Amino acid sequence: MIRQVPIFAELNEAEASELWHAGERVNVAPGEVFIREGEQGGSLYIILVGAVEVTKQDGEHEVTLATRGPGEFLGEMSLLEQAARTASVRATEPSELLAIGSEAFRQLLARRPEAAATLLRTVTSRLRSTEASLVQSDKLAALGTLAAGLAHELNNPAAAIQRSTGYLSEAFEGWRRRTVELSMLAMTQEERQGLAELERSIADCRATRCSDAEARRIESRLSQRLEALGIAEPWEIAPAMAAYGWSVERLEPVLAIFAAAHVDPVLQWLGRGLAAQQLMEEIEVASKAISSIVRSVKSYAYLDQAPVQDVDIAMSLDDTLMILNHKLKQGVAVTRMYEPALPRIEAYAGELNQVWTNLIDNAVQAMGGEGRLEVGAKRLGDEVEVLIADSGPGIPEEVGRRIFEPFFTTKAQGVGTGLGLHIAHNIVVNRHRGRISFTSRPGRTEFRIVLPLRLGHPATPEKTYVVR
């Protein structure tokens, strides 16, 4: 049985027998985990009978990497690296395994170099398969993040539209009633002209819209004046009037036009007309916000477009910041530094957005969700340089040396796959023939990505990192 395993195929009968007796027979029940991610490994396992499942934790999700059956082996990576297990393995049916300890395994590799070559081919193939599975998992996780962020960003303007729409019918009905009341009053020609002027002011009210701070200042004095005039429920009309610049000083000339008995119905009509306009404006602002979000998402994902595009780097970065806004707005101050008239570059647009997403998301996590984020872009001859910097604690030197390696992560076990920066490096260097580098010290980490203007012209080689 043992010589049916590829790495042991060249063993003679005596060597196979020796290895067999050096191993320990292990029986595992369905669902039982016998290799646990993050724990130190001391044995390689050969499956004699049964079937097992290899999984890796990715955040809250468990990703299935492979299934293994009789004649296959697993656990070799931990023995080769003398490191913690990178995945978990559980039995999916009653299984019998042969556990081979590290010393017996080391002696085998020393005695049979051809076994090492076979092992290397197997490990390489498994790493490719694992990376492909986790890259797909990362894409799905990114899609989930995008969906969650999109739902969060759409919720506020959608709620504003729903709220304003509900109040709008009430406001229009109030204004309609006041209009009927005014039509029944016996007004002088001067009063009719004054009313026409007020109607035009309602229609053109956007031109006099105040800032929120100014409106609050105006509203306090205006409410007092309306109350002094004996206006019914002045608090109902004062906010909308103040929002459009109806200060006490602006109000006084209007009061002089109308008879005392007509002041209350005129101001009630004016206030409710302005309130209806204010609600329509809020609906318009919220609708534009939704349109902007949808445009950014389409641009971010480059839906219905060819993979290679002439990319506006500043817009590409802004789209990514919008997608991640739900993570930024809780405590991250963003500074944009885009050089004017920045040229477009030829690039795999969707893949570049994945680079920005990985780097910005890492920066936010490094800062614990609070700090300063700088995003910039400038031209360097026939290249464009993008800067993404954060005010986090910095990257230790020993971490910096391995930061672009696949599966390398400093996050807690099961949080992320360790592929984010590896993917970013591959996209920049291999897909775009650019370069990516970073410098880091406590309080500031800078990633710089340099991309050629055209895909056929590689960026100048540069050292990949500096940590100090």
pLDDT per residue as tens digits for the range 124-172: 555 555 555 545 555 555 555 566 666 666 777 777 788 888 788 888 8
Tell me which of 36-45, 47-56, 439-448 is least confident: 36-45
Q: What percent of the chain has pLDDT over 70?
A: 75
Do residues 337 and 387 lie in contact, with contact meaning Cβ atoms separated by under 8 Å? yes
- Helical packing angle, 113-183 and 260-301, nearest 10°: 160
Do residues 85 and 78 lie in contact, with contact meaning Cβ atoms separated by under 8 Å? yes
Residue carrying the six token digits 């789209």: 319
305-467 to CATH, choices 3.30.565.10, 3.40.50.970, 3.30.300.10, 3.20.20.70 = 3.30.565.10
- Helical packing angle, 212-228 and 248-257, nearest 10°: 40
- Which pLDDT value is given to residue 385? 96
Any idea what DSSP says for residue 59?
T
pTM: 0.47
- Give the residues across from 96 on adjacent strands: 27, 49
How confident is the model over 358-408, as pLDDT tens digits? 899 889 988 988 999 999 999 999 999 999 999 999 988 888 777 777 655
Q: Where are the beta strands (DSSP E) in 69-107?
A: 73-74, 88-91, 95-101
Taking CA atoms, 337 is separated from 361, 370, 456, in Å, by: 19, 20, 27
* Residue 335: count of CB within 10 angstroms of its CB: 10
- Name the residue with higher pLDDT: 460 or 396: 396
- Name the residue with higher pLDDT: 343 or 325: 343
Superfamily of domain 2-111: Jelly Rolls (2.60.120.10)
End-to-end CA gap in the chain:
54
Mean per-residue pLDDT over the chain, rounded: 80
The domain locations on the chain are 2-111, 152-293, 305-467
Residue carrying the six token digits 């931990």: 78
Burial class (CB in 10 A: 0-12, 13-18, 19+), 448: middle
Do residues 385 and 344 lie in contact, with contact meaning Cβ atoms separated by under 8 Å? no
Query: Given this chain, do its domains 2-111 and 305-467 carry the same CATH topology?
Result: no
Helix (H, G, I), strand (E, B) or coil at 299: helix
